[in-house]
Chains A and B, each alone.
Chain A
Amino acid sequence: MNKIVQIDPDQVEDVGPLYAARKNVYPQSVFGTFRRIKWGLMAFCLGVYYLLPFVRWNRGLGAPDQAVLIDLPNSRFYFFFIELWPQEVYYFTGLLIIAALTLFLMNSVGGRIWCGYLCPQTVWTDLFYAVERLIEGDRRERMRKAASAGPLKLGRVSEIVLKHSIWLLIAWWTGGAWVLYFTDAPTLVKELVTFQAPAIAYIWIAILTATTYLLAGFMREQVCVYMCPWPRIQAALTDEWALNVTYRYDRGEKRMSVKKANELRALGLPAGDCVDCYQCVAACPTGIDIRNGPQIDCIQCGLCIDACDNVMKKIGGPTRLIGYDNDINIQRRMAGEPPIYRIVRPRTIIYTALIALVGGIMLYALLTRSLLDINVLHDRNPVAVKLSDGSIRNAYTVRLLNKRGFDRVVTIDVDGPQDAVLHVVGDDSITPDRPMVVLGRDGTTELRVLVTAPSEKNTEKSIPTKFRITDIGLGEVASAIDNFVSP
């Protein structure tokens, strides 16, 4: 039974606003192994992104010579030696499956490798931070400048203007590279410079300039923490053996100064390695404290490992107080057992096998992909026609696909109704019983095909009928099945 509860407004507790403002993050510059890996991967990823449209690939006369090209007007996708037609878009499905599985594998081996090193959001944010650091100085300086009140001085104004100009330049270049994938890059660059390019190119550059500038310059870690679904999904794909960037609290606790730790150790008492210097926090691009344990805000970029190692080297302590590890090993070390690492385990084996399987299927499909194809569409109105001599005729729209880069000649024949005669409308070739058709390079040819057969020999209502084309030069064959219908 429902009970009506009277709420006294004076007793309702005011919890304040549910909205929490962003705390600005000022990551400190770091040097070390992981920083070097990140620079290398950034150079690689951006290099590929910016330069790939300019790579050439010879496909013969009349075909585009751009290695990677999404040709929307002609509905073709070129990737080096591969050329895909719209109906082969399922190859992208395979590619996406492989990408997802690779993500799962990376996650089960080394945590959020994607987030920390490869994700465009991370790469561009990292680049924008580098620009910021170069112009405005390192963490302390930036914090001081941000906190200083009073009117802006000319030097500070020029710094801000310079920073945003460079950011916008990078952002503009990001959008500029994007549009180059959709048309011949050198031509478009020329058109862009002389303001002859189509409006859509400028619009896309503007859109991607805006998104890059906003996401990498202002949104930054908020994209990872609040907007991106991957941190949530990856939690379901990881396990207790996956190596994550981890504060080894078995070694670190209790935190104390170097001096106090030395005193305790001299007495034979336990002391933690962590000196509570906050360098890991200062270096973190998402502004968190890794020592609080695994958390959704951590993109696992490894910069805190470098920061901590540098401190440890200075105080002469053992490095990798923060490192790629998991909770199992922390517990084992606390129990006095040696750590164990299981990179090869059922989960990683299954992911690898699945990647190999899907990759194999795709490779097989790609290598055995037919370059000659035929589609048949039966006339629906009328389905069948009775001729004056009583025989039956069916009409079909036949579409022939030639995926090779040159013209070729095919013959068409039909197998199904007895004594069937095939005629191609508009054809007056010298072989009327097996009409020859020229197929233009890299395109489709539509034909109207009439099949006539005597009614007394074909009394069934519907006869399965095979249309076959044969390349008279290469011998390639393609066929399609339809029906021959009686009225």
Chain B
Amino acid sequence: MEESELDGVSGKTTTGHQWDGIKELNTPLPRWWLITFYASILWAIGYWVVYPAWPLLWSYTRGALNYSTRAAVGVELAILEKIRGDKMIALGAASLADIEKDPALLALARARGKAAFGDNCAPCHGSGGAGAKGYPNLNDDDWLWGGSLDQIVQTIQFGARSGHTKTHEGAMLAFGKDGILKRDEIGTVANYVRSLSGLSTRQGYDIAAGAKIFAENCTSCHGEAGKGNQELGAPNLTDKIWLYGSDEATLIETITNGRAGVMPAWVGRLDPSTIKALAVYVHTLGGGK
């Protein structure tokens, strides 16, 4: 290290460092900057004392204030619940039919229901309840287990084939896989089913055979006219709405392998007033009976 020297042009001293003959002027940090820097260090030490800071082996230093973001969120949630409390109690007390007649309660139920739907139901039914293949569209007027407010509440509470003791039971048999019907019989009855709702059928299929197979195998659940049975979750085969699809291949697949869509039970996971709000929301999507 060389001696520092006075620079004639700038009037400053050099640092004494030299690289390839280039010397550096000694320009120390401004005093205000240094003071701020040391103050920040002092502040950080204060921070360690007051707030949670150092990780320990099994825990951490908790700080003098005993502050915790988790506890802070808990307090805010409690405040929120308190604000909501009265309104949600009113919602819980009102009967399902009354909620829809009271504009304020309806707006509350729809808002609460929409939020709960987004959190819990949207993964299967879609964010607007439009459904998908195998997951019913909740906007239309076709209901597997019934579309009245009470029936919707029942379905939300206990689900379908959820394993809950009160759940909706009843599954479509795997007619092909279990050897109940032969392959050509399945094709025939699939065409017959299409004819029930006025869809085109394959030319030359045996109508009489189709009707016979249907009467022997399907009517116990779907009814003699194919109108379905909401007690068993058997869909109406005469309307325009198809949960899995109405083309021949899909129908053959359905009859061969059976269908048994599952909806979980929400009782115990959602509080009663939320379930009520969800039922009103789903009912007022448009398809409610």
Assess whether B286 is in contact with A426, with CB atoms less than 8 Å apart. Answer: no
Chain B's nearest CB lies how many Å from the CB of A134?
Answer: 43
Assess whether B284 is in contact with A381, with CB atoms less than 8 Å apart. Answer: no
Tell which of A280-288, A322-330, A383-391 binds the partner.
A383-391
Closest B residue to A423 using CB positions: B286
Known: A381-B127, A428-B101, A450-B286. A388 touches B140 (CB 8 A): yes
Assess whether A380 is in contact with B106, with CB atoms less than 8 Å apart. Answer: no
Assess whether B140 is in contact with A389, with CB atoms less than 8 Å apart. Answer: no
Chain B's nearest CB lies how many Å from the CB of A436?
Answer: 13
Assess whether B139 is in contact with A395, with CB atoms less than 8 Å apart. Answer: yes
For A296-309 the 0/1 string (1 means CB < 8 A from B) is: 00000000000000
Closest A residue to B10 using CB positions: A9
Cα separation A459 to B27 with both chains bound (whole Å): 81
Residues of chain B lying within 8 A (CB to CB) of residue A425: 100, 106, 284, 286
Known: A380-B128, A382-B130, A395-B285. A426 touches B101 (CB 8 A): yes
Assess whether A379 is in contact with B236, with CB atoms less than 8 Å apart. Answer: no
Cα separation A390 to B129 with both chains bound (whole Å): 19
Residues of chain B lying within 8 A (CB to CB) of residue A389: 239-240
Chain A's nearest CB lies how many Å from the CB of B2?
Answer: 24
Interface residue B49 (Cβ < 8 Å from any Cβ of A): no
Assess whether A393 is in contact with B286, with CB atoms less than 8 Å apart. Answer: yes
Q: Which residues 417-453 of A have a CB within 8 angstroms of B?
A: 425-426, 428, 445-446, 448, 450
Assess whether A388 is in contact with B137, with CB atoms less than 8 Å apart. Answer: no
Cα separation A448 to B281 with both chains bound (whole Å): 11
Residues of chain B lying within 8 A (CB to CB) of residue A386: 140, 240-241
Chain B's nearest CB lies how many Å from the CB of A296?
Answer: 36
Assess whether B240 is in contact with A387, with CB atoms less than 8 Å apart. Answer: yes
Residues of chain A lying within 8 A (CB to CB) of residue B139: 382, 385, 393, 395
Residues of chain B lying within 8 A (CB to CB) of residue A388: 140-142, 236, 239-241
Residues of chain A lying within 8 A (CB to CB) of residue B236: 388
Residues of chain A lying within 8 A (CB to CB) of residue B128: 379-382
Residues of chain B lying within 8 A (CB to CB) of residue A382: 126, 128-130, 137, 139
Known: A382-B128, A382-B139, A385-B140. A390 touches B285 (CB 8 A): no
Assess whether A446 is in contact with B286, with CB atoms less than 8 Å apart. Answer: no
Task: Give the total of A residues in contact with B, Cβ under 8 Å.
Answer: 20
For B13-42 the 0/1 string (1 means CB < 8 A from A) is: 000000000000000000000000000000
Chain A's nearest CB lies how many Å from the CB of B283?
Answer: 9
Residues of chain A lying within 8 A (CB to CB) of residue B100: 425-426
Interface residue B268 (Cβ < 8 Å from any Cβ of A): no
Cα separation A428 to B103 with both chains bound (whole Å): 12
Main secondary structure of the interface of B (DSSP, over half): loop
Residues of chain A lying within 8 A (CB to CB) of residue B240: 386-390
Q: Which residues 68-108 of B have a CB within 8 angstroms of A?
A: 100-101, 103, 106-107
Cα separation A385 to B110 with both chains bound (whole Å): 19
Assess whether A381 is in contact with B126, with CB atoms less than 8 Å apart. Answer: yes
Residues of chain A lying within 8 A (CB to CB) of residue B130: 381-382, 385
Interface residue B56 (Cβ < 8 Å from any Cβ of A): no
For B216-247 the 0/1 string (1 means CB < 8 A from A) is: 00000000000000000000100111000000
Residues of chain B lying within 8 A (CB to CB) of residue A379: 128
Interface residue B9 (Cβ < 8 Å from any Cβ of A): yes
Contact size range, B? 20 to 34
Cα separation A338 to B140 with both chains bound (whole Å): 89
Chain A's nearest CB lies how many Å from the CB of B104?
Answer: 11
Chain A's nearest CB lies how many Å from the CB of B123?
Answer: 14
Cα separation A227 to B100 with both chains bound (whole Å): 60
Cα separation A381 to B286 with both chains bound (whole Å): 13
Residues of chain B lying within 8 A (CB to CB) of residue A385: 130, 137, 139-140, 286-287
Residues of chain A lying within 8 A (CB to CB) of residue B140: 385-388, 393
For B240-259 the 0/1 string (1 means CB < 8 A from A) is: 11000000000000000000
Residues of chain B lying within 8 A (CB to CB) of residue A446: 107
Cα separation A23 to B110 with both chains bound (whole Å): 68
Closest A residue to B101 using CB positions: A426
Residues of chain B lying within 8 A (CB to CB) of residue A428: 101
Chain A's nearest CB lies how many Å from the CB of B275?
Answer: 19
Q: Which residues 79-125 of A have a CB within 8 angstroms of B?
A: none
Closest B residue to A425 using CB positions: B284
Chain A's nearest CB lies how many Å from the CB of B259?
Answer: 18
Chain A's nearest CB lies how many Å from the CB of B142?
Answer: 4
Chain B's nearest CB lies how many Å from the CB of A104?
Answer: 47
Residues of chain A lying within 8 A (CB to CB) of residue B141: 387-388
Chain B's nearest CB lies how many Å from the CB of A435?
Answer: 13
Cα separation A9 to B103 with both chains bound (whole Å): 83
Most buried by A among B103, B127, B129, B142: B103
For B277-289 the 0/1 string (1 means CB < 8 A from A) is: 0000000111100
Residues of chain B lying within 8 A (CB to CB) of residue A445: 103
Chain A's nearest CB lies how many Å from the CB of B237?
Answer: 11
Chain A's nearest CB lies how many Å from the CB of B9?
Answer: 6
Cα separation A425 to B139 with both chains bound (whole Å): 13
Assess whether B103 is in contact with A426, with CB atoms less than 8 Å apart. Answer: yes
Chain B's nearest CB lies how many Å from the CB of A486?
Answer: 13
Chain A's nearest CB lies how many Å from the CB of B101?
Answer: 6
Partner of B9, one of A9, A380, A395, A450: A9
Closest A residue to B238 using CB positions: A388
Residues of chain B lying within 8 A (CB to CB) of residue A450: 286
Residues of chain A lying within 8 A (CB to CB) of residue B127: 381
Residues of chain B lying within 8 A (CB to CB) of residue A393: 139-140, 286
The 26 sampled A-B contact pairs (Cβ below 8 Å) are A9-B9, A382-B126, A382-B129, A382-B137, A382-B139, A385-B130, A385-B137, A385-B286, A385-B287, A386-B241, A387-B140, A387-B240, A387-B241, A388-B141, A388-B236, A388-B241, A389-B239, A393-B139, A393-B286, A425-B106, A426-B100, A426-B101, A426-B103, A428-B101, A446-B107, A448-B284
Given A381-B127, A388-B140, 17 more A-B residue pairs with CB atoms under 8 Å apart are A9-B9, A381-B126, A385-B130, A385-B139, A385-B140, A385-B286, A388-B141, A388-B240, A390-B239, A393-B140, A425-B100, A425-B284, A425-B286, A428-B101, A446-B107, A448-B284, A450-B286
In the A-B complex, list the 3 residue pairs whose CB atoms are closest, starting with the nearest. A381-B128, A388-B239, A382-B130
